[in-house]
Structure 1
Amino acid sequence: MYKEIREILFSLEDEEYKKFQSSLCPNVNNIIGVRLPYLRKMAKQLAKGEWKTYINSARDDYFEEVMLQGMVLGYVKADVNERLNYIANFIHKIDNWSVCDSFCVGLKFTKFNMEKVLAFIEYYLKSKEEFEVRFGIVMLIDYYINEEYIDKVIILLDSINHEGYYAKMGVAWAVSMCYVKFPKKTMKYLNNNSLDNFTYNKVLQKIRESLKVSKEAKDNIRSMKREY
């Protein structure tokens, strides 16, 4: 089955998009160059059919092959425990931010299984693997920065301790989103946190870049930068 999928992917190859995607993922050297709308269309079709056969036989030689598997898992209809088992197997394949973030945004079943999925992702926040940690962080961003979970999210983000660039940038992105939605709670956290200097300053930078933060607030945030 993977041969048919690969043939379809190469038939959709777009050289200009390949250059664009490669510029966003400089360390990824196996990109075919298939635009995301085509991948999503393929994923929806596969999810309606014998998706387990596809997932179990899928190859990981190309960026799009891995991306497609993740998208399919977002569209399938399955029991939550079964789906989480497939997700756990897939997470080990993530080796770049693009696959990670696209995968997470498709896991909308989370909205109906908040506590169960939160318990599932907490394990990955403690991982030694950079993109496993980022998976957990992006899941928090996509589904848990809300009134019910904001306090828990801040505690979880402060507990993350990973030296990987994409893990640190994920934390910075997440904390900045917490600030946009819950400025008072997040400001209290920014005044007393365990973030390393790089991540902390990246949080401030991302807050300043937000179009949803006032100029006055940005000026105050700018004054909080750590010198190191």
Structure 2
Amino acid sequence: MIEEIRQELKEQADETYRKFHASLVPGLTDFLGVRIPALRSIARKLAKEDWRRYLREASDSCYEELMLQGMVIGYAAMDRDERAEHLRGFIPKINNWAVCDCCCSTWKFMRKDPAYWYDFLLPFLEGGEYEIRSVVVSLMDHFPENEYLQRQFSIYNGIHHEGYYVKMAVAWAISVCYVRFPQETAVFLGANSLDDFTQNKAIQKCRESNRISREEKEMLNGLKRGKKS
């Protein structure tokens, strides 16, 4: 089974895409160059077959195989406890922003039982750069309700990891919060414990949105830190 999947991945590989994507994701070595839609198609197919065997046998070093693992966990039919067990094993293996973001977006099951999955995610805030990013991106993708807004702000205030991909994830998530809840997010941006880099990146991302007014963009610009007087 594993060799069949690897052969399919090789057949789907695109050298032009491989070179382009490798320039965006630092540290990629074992990378074939399979586009995300093709990976999702393979993952959906695997989710209807012997996916447990695939999760046991898949390589952690190959970018595409690691991506497939995270996607299969999202697509396959399993109960909550089994899914949680697989996620506990998978999240610490995430080693770049692309695997993190693409896999997190696949975990739509979190929307059906947000209280459970919110509590499940919290311990990963004590992990490394991509474990923390996986929490932030999952919250952004699957916890849009107002009920979780202040909890998200509390989490972002408590993150003090120096990793670039943590800071950028927090900034991105705050900008999404602003689009959904502009008043509440503006209050948060006015008084928080974020480092200056994350604060200013969050404001930059908010201001890049075409869904907010020029007046809002001017207001947000006034919340940037470290400006010369």
- Pick the TM interval, shorter chain: over 0.9
Structure 1 residue 171 displacement after superposition: 0.6
Question: C-alpha distance in 2, partners of 1:225/1:35?
Answer: 37
Partner Cα separation in structure 1 for residue 44 and residue 224 of structure 2: 45
2:219 alignment partner in structure 1: 220
Match of 1:22 in 2: 22
User: What is the aligned residue count?
Assistant: 227
Residues 1:158 and 2:165 aligned together = no
Amino acid corresponding to residue 175 of structure 2 in structure 1: S
Amino acid at match of 1:73: I
Kindly state the Cα deviation for residue 3 of structure 1 after the two structures are TM-superposed: 2.3
The Cα shift of 1:152 comes to: 1.3
Letter of the 2:54 partner, please give it: Y
1:105-157 CA-to-partner distances (Å, cap 9, x unmatched) read 10111111110000011111232x00000000000100113222112111111
Alignment-derived partner of residue 134 in structure 1: 133
CA displacement at 1:59 relative to structure 2? 0.9
Q: Do 2:97 and 2:165's aligned partners in 1 also have CA atoms closer than 8 Å?
A: yes
Following TM superposition, where does structure 1 have runs of at least 4 consecutive aligned residues deviating by more than 6 angstroms?
none
Say which is worse superposed, 218-227 or 167-176, in terms of deviation. Answer: 218-227
- By how many angstroms is 1:20 displaced? 2.1
- For 1:22-46, what per-residue CA distance to the aligned partner results, in whole angstroms no more than 9, with x for missing partners? 1221332222011112111111111
Amino acid aligned to 2:218: D
Q: What residue in structure 2 maps to residue 185 of structure 1?
A: 184
Residues 34-183 of structure 1: pairs in structure 2 closer than 5 A = 34-127=34-127, 129-183=128-182
Q: In structure 2, how many angstroms separate the alpha carbons of the residues matched to 1:221 and 1:112?
A: 34
In 2, Cα distance between equivalents of 1:126 and 1:216? 38
| Alpha-carbon contact 1:134-1:166 (below 8 Å) kept | yes
| Unpaired runs of at least 5, structure 1 | none
Give me the whole-angstrom Cα distance separating, in 2, the residues matched to 1:44 and 1:225.
43
Paired residues of 1:179 and 1:187 also in contact (CA < 8 A): yes
Mean CA deviation greater in 37-46 or 134-143 = 37-46
Q: Distance in 1 between matches of 2:60 and 2:7?
A: 14
Partner of 1:199: 198
Q: Which amino acid is 1:135 matched to?
A: S
Q: Which amino acid aligns with 1:119?
A: D
RMSD of aligned C-alpha atoms? 1.2
Question: 1:101 and 1:69 mapped to 2: Cα distance?
Answer: 13
Distance of 1:185 and 1:37 partners within structure 2: 35
Residue in 1 aligned with 2:31?
31
User: Could you tell me which residue of structure 2 aligns to residue 12 of structure 1?
Assistant: 12
2: distance between equivalents of 1:9 and 1:190?
A: 44
CA contact (8 A) 1:126 1:160 kept: no
Q: Any unmatched runs of 5+ in structure 2?
A: none
The TM-score, its normalising length taken from structure 2, stands at 0.95
TM-score by length of 1: 0.96
Aligned partners of 2:176 and 2:164: how far apart in 1? 18
Report if the CA contact (8 A) 1:14-1:34 is conserved: yes
SS in 2 for 1:78: coil
